[in-house]
Copies of this chain bind each other. A is one copy, B any other.
């Protein structure tokens, strides 16, 4: 089989970022592509009733140690941003608008946005900041600014988030390989194993 993996993530999810840094390479080792599918985790959390990790006592403290430790282990540049979590609606809209014209560019820009937030601490919720990140990656700034306000693009993101919810995606990162669901950055070894063997 050569269907791409579905890689669901929220741009404000640090474990999603750690997975984003590695998922394409893992898939490529097994001749697969990756369909990057950012969505709004907050909307899905209304179903689970769960709070963001940063809002949970003790878990938040642990996460602030676990994240840089896990990032170092994989050689990924990482600093938890001062403003965390943040709003990711604009980042998602930018991605889906770009994907309509050039999926490769959209994928490249998605990574730039993620890295701007989690490696450089830029506030990706700020429209000017986001436009600057995308423009530096070769995106037409004026067209993107218009797209971010376009009702059609707003609806497109809503449909994508609804589609994630319908597929019972409840966390970030969330990876689906040939119908098999894996939740969390720490499931990447199992994802790779599944790609190798088609199951166990």
A interface residues (Cβ-Cβ under 8 A, vs B): 47-51, 56-59, 61-62, 65-66, 69-70, 72-73, 168, 170-171, 181-184, 186-187, 189-190, 193, 200
Contacts and interface: CB of A to CB of B under 8 A. Distances in A.
A56 B67 CA distance: 24
Given A48-B59, A49-B57, 20 more contacts: A47-B57, A48-B57, A49-B56, A58-B170, A59-B170, A62-B170, A62-B181, A62-B183, A65-B181, A66-B183, A66-B187, A69-B200, A72-B200, A73-B190, A73-B193, A73-B200, A184-B186, A186-B186, A186-B187, A189-B189
A183 B57 CA distance: 14
A133 to B, nearest CB: 30
Contacts of A59: 48, 50, 170-171
Given A73-B200, A183-B66, A58 B168 contact: yes
A165 to B, nearest CB: 9
Contacts of A72: 200
